[in-house]
Amino acid sequence: MDAKDFRTHGHALVDWIAEYLEHSEKYPVLSRVKPGAIAAALPDHAPEQGEPFEAIMKDFERVLVPGLTHWNHPGFFAYFAITGSAPGVLADFLSAALNQQAMLWRTSPAATELEAVTLGWLRRLIGLPDAFEGVIYDTASIATMHAIVAAREAAIAGVRAKGLAGRSDVPRGRVYGSDQTHSSIDKAVIAIGLGHESLRKIPTDDRFSMRIDALADAVRQDRADGVLPIAVVPTVGTTSTTSIDPVPAIADLCAREHLWMHVDAAYGGVAAMLPSHAHVLAGVDRADSLVVNPHKWLFTPFDLSAFYCRRMDVVRAAFALTPEYLKTSEPAEVKNLMDTGIQLGRRFRSLKLWFILRSYGAEAIRAHVARHIQLAQTLASWVDAHPDFERLAPVPFSVVCFRWKPSGRSLTEPELDAANEKLIDLVNASGDTFMAHTRLRGKLSLRIAIGHIRTEERHVRRAWDLIVENAARAVTSH
Amino acid sequence: MDAKDFRTHGHALVDWIAEYLEHSEKYPVLSRVKPGAIAAALPDHAPEQGEPFEAIMKDFERVLVPGLTHWNHPGFFAYFAITGSAPGVLADFLSAALNQQAMLWRTSPAATELEAVTLGWLRRLIGLPDAFEGVIYDTASIATMHAIVAAREAAIAGVRAKGLAGRSDVPRGRVYGSDQTHSSIDKAVIAIGLGHESLRKIPTDDRFSMRIDALADAVRQDRADGVLPIAVVPTVGTTSTTSIDPVPAIADLCAREHLWMHVDAAYGGVAAMLPSHAHVLAGVDRADSLVVNPHKWLFTPFDLSAFYCRRMDVVRAAFALTPEYLKTSEPAEVKNLMDTGIQLGRRFRSLKLWFILRSYGAEAIRAHVARHIQLAQTLASWVDAHPDFERLAPVPFSVVCFRWKPSGRSLTEPELDAANEKLIDLVNASGDTFMAHTRLRGKLSLRIAIGHIRTEERHVRRAWDLIVENAARAVTSH
Confidence of residue B478 (pLDDT cuts 50, 70, 90): very low
Q: pTM of whole model > 0.95?
A: yes
Q: Is residue A83 part of a domain?
A: no
Residues 6+ apart with CB under 8 A from A26: none
**Whole-number Å distance between alpha carbons of A416 and A422:** 10
**Whole-number Å distance between alpha carbons of B118 and B128:** 14
A208, A152 Cβ separation under 8 angstroms: no
**Pair (A456, A398) in one structural domain:** yes
**Whole-number Å distance between alpha carbons of B293 and B272:** 13
B126, B275 Cβ separation under 8 angstroms: no
Q: Which residues of B touch A330 (CB under 8 A)?
A: 35
Residue B183 maps to which CATH number? 3.40.640.10
Q: Which residues of A touch B345 (CB under 8 A)?
A: 138-139, 141, 295, 302-303
Contact A107 B161 (CB under 8 A): no
**Pair (A368, A452) in one structural domain:** yes
pLDDT tens series, chain A, 478 aa: 999 999 999 999 999 999 999 999 999 999 999 999 999 999 999 999 999 999 999 999 999 999 999 999 999 999 999 999 999 999 999 999 999 999 999 999 999 999 999 999 999 999 999 999 999 999 999 999 999 999 999 999 999 999 999 999 999 999 999 999 999 999 999 999 999 999 999 999 999 999 999 999 999 999 999 999 999 999 999 999 999 999 999 999 999 999 999 999 999 999 999 999 999 999 999 999 999 999 999 999 999 999 999 999 999 999 998 888 888 888 878 899 999 999 999 999 999 999 999 999 999 999 999 999 999 999 999 999 999 999 999 999 999 999 999 998 899 999 999 999 999 999 999 999 999 999 999 999 999 999 999 999 999 999 999 999 999 887 665 4
Confidence of residue B34 (pLDDT cuts 50, 70, 90): very high
**Whole-number Å distance between alpha carbons of A92 and B83:** 16
Which pLDDT score, from 0 to 100, does residue A331 have?
Answer: 82
Contact A302 B345 (CB under 8 A): yes
* Best CA proximity match to B70, nearest among A58, A97, A402: A97
Q: Is residue B303 part of a domain?
A: yes
Residue A252 C-alpha, separation from nearest chain B C-alpha, in angstroms: 28
Q: Is the pLDDT of residue B477 over 70?
A: no
**How many domains does chain A fold into?**
3
Q: Is residue B319 part of a domain?
A: yes
**Whole-number Å distance between alpha carbons of B455 and B446:** 19
**Pair (A195, A270) in one structural domain:** yes
The residues facing B436 across adjacent strands are B447
Task: List, as one string, the DSSP characters of B103-161.
Answer: SSTTT-HHHHHHHHHHHHHHHHHTT--TT-EEEEES-HHHHHHHHHHHHHHHHSTTHHH
A4, exposed or middle or buried, with CB in 10 Å at 0-12, 13-18, 19+? exposed
Could you report how far apart the first and last alpha carbons of chain B are, in Å? 56
**Whole-number Å distance between alpha carbons of A15 and A71:** 19
Range of the domain at A20: 3-68
Contact B96 A84 (CB under 8 A): yes
The residues facing B200 across adjacent strands are B176
DSSP symbol at A25: G
Q: Is residue B264 part of a domain?
A: yes
Residue A465 maps to which CATH number? 3.90.1150.170
**Whole-number Å distance between alpha carbons of B49 and A363:** 6
Which pLDDT score, from 0 to 100, does residue A263 have?
Answer: 98
Residue B270 C-alpha, separation from nearest chain A C-alpha, in angstroms: 14
| Calculated CA dihedral for residues B224, B229, B233, B238, nearest 10 degrees | -40
Q: Is residue B241 part of a domain?
A: yes
Q: Is residue B439 part of a domain?
A: no
Distances (CA, A) of A60 to A16, A89, B358, B434: 12, 19, 12, 38
Q: Is residue A432 part of a domain?
A: yes
Cβ-count burial B372-387 (b if 16+ within 10 Å, e if not): bbebbebbbebbeebe
**Pair (A102, A184) in one structural domain:** yes
Is B380 in a helix, a strand, or coil?
A: helix
Is B286 in a helix, a strand, or coil?
A: helix
Residue A48 maps to which CATH number? 1.20.1340.10
Residue B450 C-alpha, separation from nearest chain A C-alpha, in angstroms: 16
Contact B191 A192 (CB under 8 A): yes
**Pair (A170, A311) in one structural domain:** yes
Average pLDDT over residues B89-114: 98
**Pair (A354, A372) in one structural domain:** no
Residue range B122-168, pLDDT digits in tens: 999 999 999 999 999 999 999 999 999 999 999 999 999 999 999 99
**Pair (A367, A354) in one structural domain:** no
**Whole-number Å distance between alpha carbons of B393 and B372:** 17
Helices (H), A192-349: 212-224, 247-257, 294-297, 312-319
The HSE-up count of residue A324 (CA atoms within 13 Å, CB side) is 18
Q: Is the pLDDT of residue B50 over 90?
A: yes
**Whole-number Å distance between alpha carbons of B469 and B463:** 10
**Whole-number Å distance between alpha carbons of A402 and B318:** 34
Among all residues of chain A, which has the CA nearest to that of B345? Answer: A139
Question: Average pLDDT of chain B?
Answer: 96
User: Which residue, of A326, A360, A394, is where some domain finishes?
Assistant: A360
**Pair (A276, A372) in one structural domain:** no
Q: Which of A15, A120, A195 sits opposite B161 (nearest CB)?
A: A195
Confidence of residue B476 (pLDDT cuts 50, 70, 90): low
**Pair (A220, A237) in one structural domain:** yes
Residues 6+ apart with CB under 8 A from A265: A235, A236, A237, A272, A280, A281, A284, A290, A291, A292
A87, B83 Cβ separation under 8 angstroms: no
Which pLDDT score, from 0 to 100, does residue A478 have?
Answer: 47
**Pair (A19, A50) in one structural domain:** yes
**Pair (A156, A198) in one structural domain:** yes
Mutate to test the interface with A, among B57, B98, B115, B230 (most CBs of A within 10 A): B98
Q: Which of B33, B149, B164 sits opposite A109 (nearest CB)?
A: B33
**Whole-number Å distance between alpha carbons of A16 and A87:** 16
* Best CA proximity match to A126, nearest among A114, A134, A137: A134
Q: Give the type of residue at A116.
A: A
**3-state class percentages of chain B: helix first, strand second, coil last, to nearest 5:** 50, 15, 35
Distances (CA, A) of A52 to A49, A168, A178, B1: 10, 64, 53, 31
Residue range B2-17, pLDDT digits in tens: 999 999 999 999 999 9
Contact B67 A17 (CB under 8 A): no
Q: How high is the ipTM of this complex?
A: 0.97
Distances (CA, A) of B128 to A112, A430, B122, B125, B132: 37, 43, 9, 8, 7
**Pair (A110, A63) in one structural domain:** no
**Whole-number Å distance between alpha carbons of A298 and A293:** 8
Q: Is residue A74 part of a domain?
A: no
Is A171 in a helix, a strand, or coil?
A: coil
**Whole-number Å distance between alpha carbons of A436 and A448:** 7
